[in-house]
Amino acid sequence: QGQLQNIDQKGNGRLGVITNYLSDKFEWAAELVNKLNVVFGIDSFRLVQEGVCNANMSGRDIVCVMPTGGGKSLTYQLPAIKSIGCTIVISPLISLIRDQILHLRESNVEAVMLMSGIAQDEMRSIMRRLDETATGKGGVKLCYVTPERLSKSDNFMFMVQKLAKNGRLARFVIDEAHCISQQGHDFRTDYKKLSMLRQQFPKIPILALSATCSQKVLEDLLQILGLKPITPGRSANLNGTVYFSSPLYRENLNYKVVEKSSVRAEVIRHMVEYILEHHPNASGIIYCLSRRDSEAVAKDIQVRSEGKIRTGVYHSGIPDPVKEKLHEDWRSGAIKVVCATIAFGLGIDKADVRFVMHHSKSVQNYYQESGRAGRDGKDADCILYYRSMDAFRYNELKQESKQSHQQIHEMLRFLQDTNECRNVLFAKHFALSAWSADELARCGHCDNCTRAPGAVEERDITVDAWRVLRISQALKRADENVTAQKLSDCARGVGAEVKKPEMAAVGKVSLSKQDTEALVIHLMLEQYLTVKLHRTAHKTVTYLEPGKADHATAFMNRSQAQVDEARTGARMMYAFLIPEKKVKTKASAGGGPSPASGNTTPPPRRKKSNAK
């Protein structure tokens, strides 16, 4: 007992820190499985569920990180019905709680929910049932509450005290626990107040759940909740917090980045053709950047598809009854595609979402929102439409922090990477100490794993890069502030500025518009160009200027002759994406593999290991 070890769980993939909580030797094991089958209608545990349930039954503090759709709810619901008293679940969204309650009631589990706006008499009835639970007469197993409500209601806190005093408070569960950290992407002020749980109830175990939890967020989370440090692997420390993480890798999700046309109608056409070709009768989500955008996209898709694709709209400005109707129509299949802002998120529990398409602000968002596809374990596509230049637009929307700027850089890196497996990129992004990048296998079915030979072409960009930088220098000298877009245009000889003799002397780049934009972004990411943020009252504009790093100045200061003849300094190479249409014709004409993509033969698609 208490021996901690790293093991691979029945082919379910590599796990973070594993304990011997994965065992059927526990006294409750048989009954847990029985309830799993009978109450939830589920045959077997998935990912780290079994270990979390056992640690939960053992009264430990736990942090559990499992991908969206992985089945985090079960890790507290199952122990809750086996425990004495009530488990209190803090969950951020009402829609999310509603879904859970609905499912629990269908399974005959007694569950209640508390949120703002609840009617007086209903509140009274809930409090009465909780009181009966506290005195051993009733059996509320799960009580859901929003953090806002928890921090506002003295009555309720008093009841929680009573439950605890009578030994009828089984556990606190904090869902979407990353909301507690300001370093995460969903920070909520009321989550911070959850630090009072450990202060007021030092003996009640806590389970924190999340789908995305970086090292920094994890540290915050432990500190704010007052949890002890994570029990390290192979130690016998039974005091620490038990940490479970399961692979982020969901093998049924096919990630794909599609370069978006700057012409809006083109994007719609692409979406419609794609849906009709691959998922004519399936449900999907299209995430849009604004409310207006989601309305427009919904309309355009329906029109463009001549009514073949029935769409609905969801965003925070839609009245509640309309939202509920939409949920209903979507569930029943009357609406196939929901065009939405990210408000349509947490709490959607539709298993057969076959595709998620969107524009995204961060790698984290893309990962998280894509996670809503394929919860039934069957194949689903997660398509990200992007134009690098758009990344800066998000920055312009409002005053943003340095951190969000860093997110934009990460996103651009992700977008521009035409080689590394998307799943490996995700794993690196969310890396926790238990993972090392070299251990990660390529998924074999994302866009980068399945690129056709010739889809990527590595070219010498030394001269063009030098031109871009020289032009940037000239603009700087002339006190011209330029955005990435403007700089690309100037580099191609477009715009009034290029008439200046100094710039004319440099010459134009010999690349297409799209490739020039890619090059400018590349130079920025490699710090040959540097970002200058210009804040006004309403927005932040991102300008680019020559980088100050040594490698940047050394490169810029090469003479024209040096660059042309490549006598000094290394050449600069860049892997350009070849437009899909051209790749096809090339391939059929017998074009061989390019040097950039020839080094990776995609492995065969992985066998399902945890499917059921």
Q: Does 164 bind ligand ADP (CB under 6 A)?
A: no
Residue 284 bridge partners (DSSP): 337, 355
Which of 76/555 has CB closer to ligand ADP?
76
Q: Does 66 bind ligand ADP (CB under 6 A)?
A: yes
Q: Over the Cα atoms of the chain, what is R_g?
A: 27
User: Within 23-62, which residues bind ligand ADP (CB under 6 A)?
Assistant: 42, 45-46, 49
Residues that contact ligand ADP, how many (by CB under 6 A) = 16
**Which partner from the list Mg ion, ligand ADP, none does 257 bind, CB cut-off 5 to 8 Å by kind?**
none
Closest distance between ligand ADP and the C-beta of residue 346, in Å? 9
Q: Does 21 bind ligand ADP (CB under 6 A)?
A: no
Q: Pick from 122, 121, 102, 101: which is nearest to 112 by CA?
A: 101
Closest distance between Mg ion and the C-beta of residue 98, in Å? 13
Which of 14/72 has CB closer to Mg ion?
72
How many angstroms separate the CA atoms of 312 and 297, rounded?
10
Q: Does 92 bind ligand ADP (CB under 6 A)?
A: no
How many angstroms separate the CA atoms of 430 and 178, rounded?
13
Which of 242/577 has CB closer to ligand ADP?
242
How many angstroms separate the CA atoms of 82 and 266, rounded?
55
Only segment of 63-71, 323-331, 431-439, 519-527 that touches ligand ADP (CB under 6 A): 63-71
Q: Report, in this order, helix, strand and coil percent for the chain, each rounded to 5.
A: 40, 15, 45
With CB under 6 A as the contact rule, the residue among 72, 178, 358, 445 that binds ligand ADP is: 72
**Which partner from the list ligand ADP, Mg ion, none does 42 bind, CB cut-off 5 to 8 Å by kind?**
ligand ADP
Q: Pick from 416, 413, 414, 518: which is nearest to 465 by CA?
A: 518
CA distances (Å), 579 to each of 259, 491, 519, in order?
9, 21, 16
Q: Does 70 bind ligand ADP (CB under 6 A)?
A: yes
Return the ∠ at Cα 50 (arms to 44 and 52), rounded to 5°. Answer: 150
- Quick one: how far is CA 520 from the chain centroid? 26
Closest distance between ligand ADP and the C-beta of residue 41, in Å? 8
Q: Does 612 bind ligand ADP (CB under 6 A)?
A: yes
Here the tokens at position 375 are 């919860």
Only segment of 66-74, 237-245, 316-324, 409-417 that touches ligand ADP (CB under 6 A): 66-74
Which of 375/470 has CB closer to Mg ion?
375
With CB under 6 A as the contact rule, the residue among 33, 48, 64, 74 that binds ligand ADP is: 74
Phi-psi region of 28 (alpha: psi -120 to 50; beta: other; left: phi over 0): alpha
How many angstroms separate the CA atoms of 566 and 572, rounded?
10
Only segment of 51-59, 64-72, 304-312, 430-438 that touches Mg ion (CB under 5 A): 64-72
φ, ψ of residue 286 in degrees (nearest 5): -115, 115
**Which partner from the list Mg ion, ligand ADP, none does 9 bind, CB cut-off 5 to 8 Å by kind?**
none
Which helix or strand (DSSP H or E) is residue 428 part of?
helix 422-429
Strand 529-535 with 169-174, pairing: unpaired
Q: Pick from 111, 170, 118: which is nearest to 143 by CA?
A: 111
User: 3-state class of 171 per DSSP?
Assistant: strand
**Which partner from the list Mg ion, ligand ADP, none does 612 bind, CB cut-off 5 to 8 Å by kind?**
ligand ADP
With CB under 6 A as the contact rule, the residue among 102, 303, 351, 504 that binds ligand ADP is: 351
The residue whose Cβ lies closest to ligand ADP is 71
Closest distance between ligand ADP and the C-beta of residue 71, in Å? 3
User: 3-state class of 170 per DSSP?
Assistant: strand
Q: Does 451 bind ligand ADP (CB under 6 A)?
A: no
Which of 101/531 has CB closer to Mg ion?
101
Here the tokens at position 282 are 């399936």
Q: Which residues bind Mg ion (CB under 5 A)?
A: 72
Where does this chain bind ligand ADP (CB under 6 A)? 42, 45-46, 49, 66, 68-74, 349, 351, 375, 612
